[in-house]
Structure 1
Amino acid sequence: MNTKIPFVTKEQVLDMVKKYPTPFHIYDEKGIRENAKAVKEAFSWNKGFKEYFAVKATPNPYILNILKEYGCGCDCSSLTELMMAQALGFSGNDIMFSSNDTPAEEYVYARQINATINLDDITHIKFLEDVASLPETISCRFNPGGLFTISNSIMDNPGDAKYGFTKDQLFEGFRILKKKGVKYFGVHAFLASNTVTNEYYPTLAKTLFETVVELKEATGCDIKFINLSGGVGIPYTPDQEPNDIKAIGSAVHEVYDEILVPAGLGDVAIYTEMGRFMLAPYGGLVTQAIHEKHTHKEYIGVDACAVNLMRPAMYGAYHHITVLGKENDICDHTYDVTGSLCENNDKFAVDRILPKIDIGDYLFIHDTGAHGFSMGYNYNGKLRSAELLLKENGEVIMIRRAETPKDYFATFDFSDILKDVDYNAGK
């Protein structure tokens, strides 16, 4: 079995915790930059290519500004994500708004900042027109239905997914939008999440490209871009081979030349909306072992919990764990690694074979750079952790402070009742 190597050492963490107590998420600037550059190069054959980073994966302004340097835009799914993108200087064509069951005020704001709206349903055409007006350029999300079983992924059953137009609705929707004055069109689809295969994007591209050729012939619409969305995954387990973005880009190029170019669509731009692939391997959750328990099983309790990383509790997802300083020790102990929530699924690992863990050891939980911090919550009154950035020069900076009890109580409008809260309790 291959291994996963943390991008921080025990010595670095011991230095960090003098200033930033665990748990915390930390990101690797060098890795993020190298990967963003590789994605840009892999699709450089397409002159209109743009990666719209899925903000929901890692909604941190420092991260977004790094990606912006490589020409990335933002894929937003809510009002606050749109507001963040706008505040950071992303504008107009730099922002894709892909939302579902969308409130009116979110469409209104998207129109105000001229974001490219990606409609999720045919009924949203009239809804958008009524609440905000239709733009000159619009995209529609296509759901072909059926099963999509190219690899073992989180979501591979489009027919059971709440997203997108059916094929008949897509054709009808384009006709309606063209009649209402929309000039330029895009098509978007998302069929599976976290695919660890170089075949996903080319397979999806073939489906979309063929559909777009039919759309052009049937509706006469001017289709400017095709959005392959996200779904390109990462190897969470050490035995998996990572995706090769260069090979993926090359294979999409082949399908593009095979299907779109002969149909007179050789100037169509290719967009992607990757979150996990862009960031997941370049983030880790650092936590300290604070308890051990010997009952029906062997447990190690850490100072992080599912509010810091929900994926194992929510999906049973695997995240590799390295005991810092014991990378070369024999793995001869079997543990459940748990947090402190009042829920039995609050486990980062179940029956995981690891080296002997001692109280005070620091654990590095891998691949939390996407859908890690961002899925945090406040159950049990738990507070979300800080986010740190390991800069290319080795410096560590805080890019989001940890929440405090004062933050937790800030939304209550009962100042008279809570006037005696001691925000420094326990310190």
Structure 2
Amino acid sequence: MDLNIKINDKNHLDIGGADACDIAEEFGTPTYVIDENRIRDNYNRFYNAFSKYYPDFRVYYACKANTNLAVMRILESEGCCIDAVSPGEVYTSKKLGFPGERILFTGNNVTTEELKFVAEQGAVLNLDSVSALKRLAEVVDPEGFKISFRVNPMVGAGHHDHCITGGVMSKFGIMDNEAVEVYQFAEDLGFTPVGMHSHIGSGILDPEPFKLAIESTIDIAGKVHTEAGIDFEFVDFGGGVGIPYTPEENIVDIDTFAKENIALFKSKLEEHDLGKPTMYLEPGRYLVGDASVLLTRVNSVKQSYRKFLGVDSGFHTLLRPAMYDSYHHIVLANKMDAPNTQEVDIAGNVCESGDLFARDRPMPDVEEGDLLAILNAGAYGFTMSSNYNSRPKASEVLVKDGECFLTRERETFEDLFNKQIIPDYLQ
């Protein structure tokens, strides 16, 4: 088990050397708190594990997990690249100093205008369909223009059906049996295809699904190489490496994960005479998931037909429990040594029955005013938050060696009016 839980001498939760209670007192709640050193440690552990066995290796951060500007700058300073899935993520990455050659854009159902914008930013385009290929040819000079394609490896895995991105039900990628034809068509248009990409899902803790994806993707690449004459500069197997969310789950042995998958990768490259293309992986959750917690204050203890702990955040702040039925470990941050004495439901402040962070969760005696910490909130936490129920969004705080820095101001009621216009006739 490794839920990245640390306790200080006050029996308070420690986040990056800072006291969670002090953070909540200074910045209010709900607040996302990010541990910079944990992000750096996660990145280097991941990069070193794979590059040790295959030096020509790159990490592309799946920034949809967390686009906090400070988080992205931290990863840029480590030499990380960016996996972007929208023009906005490309724009943000460029603003933060990522050069175009370190940004791989993998969109789906992309407009022609978006293709043109991404190309102008110098990002590498990883196309998802023949339609996107044809429309890209209308807005760029195809001659010598390097591109990649996302293929469906017909392998899917993940912690929830919504997170499985390969197989017959998936909306992503070109079909495996049309890959040769699509790559040939790209060359006929004048493009230079140099890469192949696949992605099977997220929240994966076992190397076996990745092995299936590697085997399937390299088999497709081998066929494209043989029949269409494509020489690959890189092969990208996407992301999906998970983190432990429950106390019963163990952290991924990333060295074993890397060793086993790299061994298969090398074997398949040799089998298909594909040379030594660069290997790309796109971790998101693994880099940032356990580096952030959501601090939320208990404002109501209610004994109804069930016992509810009501808090000052909801699924507008952290959507994953309501959307994916995801488990997030929750601790009593101001009384970390208190034993569990009861089972309670932890409910948010959104007017929806589904606004629950936990059902029947073992917890200590909790009083109104106590501080809860929802762990592993760094991936798909703030990025999926909203203003539902006209709730202002939370603040974000970065911790570096015990020192705290506000990286996103808490929204106010006035912010709810941004970009809205009332027609003159209704004034």
Q: Report the Cα distance in structure 1 between the residues aligned to 2:129 and 2:381, rounded to whole angstroms.
A: 29
Q: Does 1:64 align with 2:72?
A: yes
Q: Report the Cα distance in structure 2 between the residues aligned to 1:153 and 1:290, rounded to whole angstroms.
A: 34
Query: TM-score, structure 2 length as denominator?
Result: 0.92
Q: Report the Cα distance in structure 1 between the residues aligned to 2:390 and 2:358, rounded to whole angstroms.
A: 23
Q: Does 1:139 align with 2:148?
A: yes
Choose the corresponding residue for 1:313, options 322, 330, 341. Answer: 322
Indicate conservation of the 8 Å contact 1:152/1:195, yes or no: no
Q: Which residue of 2 aligns with 1:423?
A: none
Letter in 1 for 2:113: E
Residue ranges of structure 1 left out of the alignment (5+ in a row): 420-427
Q: Which residue of 2 aligns with 1:48?
A: 56
After superposition, the C-alpha distances for 1:226-266 in whole angstroms (9 at most, x for unaligned) are 11111111111110111122212211221122110353323
Q: Report the Cα distance in structure 2 between the residues aligned to 1:151 and 1:227, rounded to whole angstroms.
A: 21
Q: Does 1:233 align with 2:233?
A: no
1:322-337 matches, within 5 Å, as 322-337=331-346
Q: Structure 2 vs 1, CA of residues 8 and 230 (structure 1 numbering), >3 Å: closer, same or farther? A: farther
The DSSP-based 3-state class of the residue aligned with 2:147 is strand
Q: Which residue of 1 aligns with 2:178?
A: 169
The DSSP-based 3-state class of the residue aligned with 1:291 is strand
Q: Report the Cα distance in structure 2 between the residues aligned to 1:316 and 1:83, rounded to whole angstroms.
A: 32
Indicate conservation of the 8 Å contact 1:335/1:350, yes or no: yes
Q: Report the Cα distance in structure 2 between the residues aligned to 1:352 and 1:321, rounded to whole angstroms.
A: 9
Choose the corresponding residue for 1:27, options 34, 38, 62. Answer: 34
Choose the corresponding residue for 2:396, options 363, 387, 395. Answer: 387
1:176 CA displacement: 0.5
Q: Which residue of 2 aligns with 1:87?
A: 95
After superposition, the C-alpha distances for 1:308-346 in whole angstroms (9 at most, x for unaligned) are 100001111111101113333221211111111111111
The DSSP-based 3-state class of the residue aligned with 1:160 is coil
Indicate conservation of the 8 Å contact 1:154/1:194, yes or no: no
1:22-421 matches, within 5 Å, as 22-44=29-51, 45-134=53-142, 136-145=145-154, 148=156, 155-156=163-164, 158-391=167-400, 393-414=401-422
Indicate conservation of the 8 Å contact 2:186/2:193, yes or no: no
Percent of matched pairs sharing the same residue: 30
Q: Report the Cα distance in structure 2 between the residues aligned to 1:275 and 1:149, rounded to whole angstroms.
A: 16
Q: Structure 2 vs 1, CA of residues 184 and 143 (structure 1 numbering), >3 Å: closer, same or farther? A: closer
Q: Report the Cα distance in structure 1 between the residues aligned to 2:101 and 2:423, rounded to whole angstroms.
A: 44
Choose the corresponding residue for 1:18, options 9, 20, 25. Answer: 25
Q: Which residue of 2 aligns with 1:6?
A: 5
- Quote the RMSD (CA, aligned, Å): 2.2
The DSSP-based 3-state class of the residue aligned with 1:337 is strand
Which deviates more from structure 2 when the two are superposed, residues 322-331 or residues 309-318? 322-331
After superposition, the C-alpha distances for 1:62-121 in whole angstroms (9 at most, x for unaligned) are 111111122211111112111101111112220011111112221111110111111111
Query: TM-score, structure 1 length as denominator?
Result: 0.92
Indicate conservation of the 8 Å contact 2:129/2:173, yes or no: yes
The DSSP-based 3-state class of the residue aligned with 2:71 is helix
The DSSP-based 3-state class of the residue aligned with 1:192 is coil
Indicate conservation of the 8 Å contact 1:122/1:169, yes or no: no
Aligned length: 416
Indicate conservation of the 8 Å contact 2:160/2:324, yes or no: no
Q: Which residue of 2 aligns with 1:425?
A: none
Indicate conservation of the 8 Å contact 1:121/1:165, yes or no: yes
Letter in 2 for 1:348: F
Q: Structure 2 vs 1, CA of residues 181 and 234 (structure 1 numbering), >3 Å: closer, same or farther? A: same
Residue ranges of structure 2 left out of the alignment (5+ in a row): 14-18
Indicate conservation of the 8 Å contact 1:378/1:384, yes or no: yes
